[in-house]
Amino acid sequence: MKTIKPIRITSKLTDHPVEKLTSAEMGKLWAVYMGNTMSKCVLSYYLQHVNDKDIKEILKNALNLSTDFLRDIKKIFDSENFPIPIGFTEDDVNLGAPRLFADEFYLHYLKYAAKAGLSLYSTAIPLMLRQDVRDFILKCNQLTTDLLVTLNDTLKEKGFLTRPPVIPVPEKVEFVQKESYFNGFLGHVRPLHGLEIAHLYDNMENNSTSKVLLMAFGQVAKNEKVKNFMHRGKEITMKHIEACRHQLNNEDLPAHPLLDDLAENSTFAPFSDKLMLFHKIDMFSMKIRSYANALSLNGRHDIGAMFSKFLLDIGLYVQDGAKIFIDEGWMEKPPQAMDRDSMSSNK
């Protein structure tokens, strides 16, 4: 097998310009900072338990990315006298904890996390106006894309990659002739089209990885509310996997396999309950974006109804997780607008 080349990490932030940070720039930088403090903890732990040399190199590169991104954001924040978020620290990870995942899982996890990061960076690009912030987000976007390419290549080389279903090449260009094209419950139901298949499969891939994390976090969580939250998330995730599998199997198309066997049976927590809860709230928020994207590109009523139900499930679940986060005193406030009504009432 060929050696995986390390990803080159570069940082070229421009000098601090005159204009102030916009709300969009503050919000996105804050979110990237919080997420990468978590990633730094998680990846540092993974590196304590990895045997495969290629996977270890990729984990090191991913950790370097998180460290590099944090340094760049801190430089921007310092130039604005912006208070550095606490996020997650050495107190939120136990590097001496036993192994919780198999080596293969690290590749699936990094792909899952990189897709979440890419969705954050790509939506930020049009909103970034200040040159140093724009250059930083573009850099994040490019390096995360490079990481995803490396992950797919490595998954393929190691025999861990499951390809999306293959469908026939169209024989000619055709146009939709009848409104029955949108049927899903009654009458003639057309076969799934390529975009519907792609998003059904992509969401199965995400959920298969998410389920492993929920299983493992549920095993090791100490706080009873957090433990129950993980168990509930696992049940929701499995229902969504089964629903997507049903749609694909009905068309005689293969579905993404489960990855449950990649979680070990340790009950010793490598992460704080705070980190694990934040992780799943954050990643389930990514599911909202992923499901909404799938819904927007869907053309069948039954699949549209399915993704709408998924969005309701996830919205309620994330809200309940946020309530636990607040009750435990763990939630940092993102930057926010002035409360002018409160200012007026204090006079």
The residue extents of the domains of the chain are 23-157, 191-327
Which one-letter DSSP state was computed for residue 3? P
Per cent of the chain over pLDDT 90 is: 85
Q: What residue type is 105 in one-letter code?
A: F
| pLDDT at residue 202 greater than cutoff 90 | yes
What angle, rounded to 10 degrees, do the helices at 224-250 and 273-296 form? 30
CATH 1.20.1260.10 fits 191-327, yes or no: yes
Q: What is the mean pLDDT of the chain?
A: 92
Extract the tokens encoding 303.
Answer: 């699949």
Give the alpha-carbon dihedral of 31, 34, 35, 40, to 10 degrees.
150
**Closest to 259 measured CA to CA, from 54, 107, 69:** 107
Q: How big is the chain, counted in residues? A: 347
Local confidence band at 3 (pLDDT 50, 70, 90 cut-offs): very low
Local confidence band at 344 (pLDDT 50, 70, 90 cut-offs): low
Indicate the CATH number of 23-157 among 1.10.1660.10, 1.10.3720.10, 3.10.620.30, 1.20.1260.10. Answer: 1.20.1260.10
Local confidence band at 10 (pLDDT 50, 70, 90 cut-offs): very low
Measured CA to CA, the distance from residue 30 to residue 130 in angstroms comes to 15
Q: What residue type is 40 in one-letter code?
A: K
| pLDDT at residue 157 greater than cutoff 60 | yes
pLDDT digit string, tens, across residues 162-179: 999 999 999 999 898 888
- 27-36 average pLDDT score: 96
What's residue 187's pLDDT?
78
Listed in sequence order, the DSSP H helices in the chain are 23-46, 53-79, 103-124, 131-157, 194-220, 224-250, 273-296, 301-327, 340-345
Does this chain's domain 23-157 share its CATH topology with 191-327? yes
Measured CA to CA, the distance from residue 69 to residue 117 in angstroms comes to 12
| pLDDT at residue 4 greater than cutoff 60 | no
Local confidence band at 186 (pLDDT 50, 70, 90 cut-offs): confident
pLDDT digit string, tens, across residues 316-327: 999 999 999 999
What's residue 347's pLDDT?
56
Q: Within 10 Å of residue 22's Cβ, how many Cβ atoms?
A: 14
pLDDT digit string, tens, across residues 206-258: 999 999 999 999 999 999 999 999 999 999 999 999 999 999 999 999 999 99
Q: Three-state DSSP class for 179?
A: helix
Extract the tokens encoding 17.
Answer: 């310009």
Q: Are 33 and 87 in contact (CB under 8 A)?
A: yes
pTM: 0.91
Q: Three-state DSSP class for 182?
A: helix
